[in-house]
Amino acid sequence: MPLAAKKTASPPSLWIWFAITFLWGTVFYGTSIVMLHLSASLLEQGFFNPAWEEIYSVYLIYCVALLIVALSAMFLKKRLDPQGEKQTKRQQEVIAGKREKVFVSLAGSFATSFFFTVLTAIVFSFSSGMAAMTVALTVPVVLLAAGLNISAGLGASLLVGLVIFVLKKV
């Protein structure tokens, strides 16, 4: 059955914004921790080696940051495209074959993985005093980790594209 684009876009609900932000935020939280540890070791700068208990306790604070990110993104989208015209046009172009069909927003997944690495570093740095843990992250460590985490964004984009591809074939 062929897909049909909506004539008007309905804005995603608040829960969709939260669900997507928490899904990708949590995925990239985990990969960011690995990349921050690797980057600190590779550059031999700073210190980042949180224990599991620290990772979980910082995650609670990180969730508050994710709520703020979701609400901010929703507000920004409403300001930039209040009627959802760009979203409707994009959906119509994808269905018409004028845009990517399988790998949805490769650039977006790169930017997201980079952003969530920086957010993870900020939350860990902010939380280190409250959680009595040692975190010393330099700007080069965070930037290298964010750059390395783009590989996780690529992997996520390929995985999502593969799932969409398989589902279309079924």
Residue-wise pLDDT tens for the chain (170 aa)?
Answer: 455 555 555 677 889 889 989 998 999 999 999 999 999 999 999 999 999 999 999 999 999 999 999 999 889 988 888 777 777 777 777 677 776 655 556 777 888 899 999 999 999 999 988 878 889 999 999 999 999 999 988 888 788 778 877 887 77
Indicate whether 162 belongs to any domain.
yes
Q: Sort 71 into a burial class: Cβ within 10 Å, 0-12 / 13-18 / 19+.
A: middle
Residue 35 has what pLDDT?
Answer: 96
Residue 3 has what pLDDT?
Answer: 53
Which residue range(s) make up the domain with 156?
A: 14-169
Indicate whether 151 belongs to any domain.
yes
How many domains does one find in the chain?
1
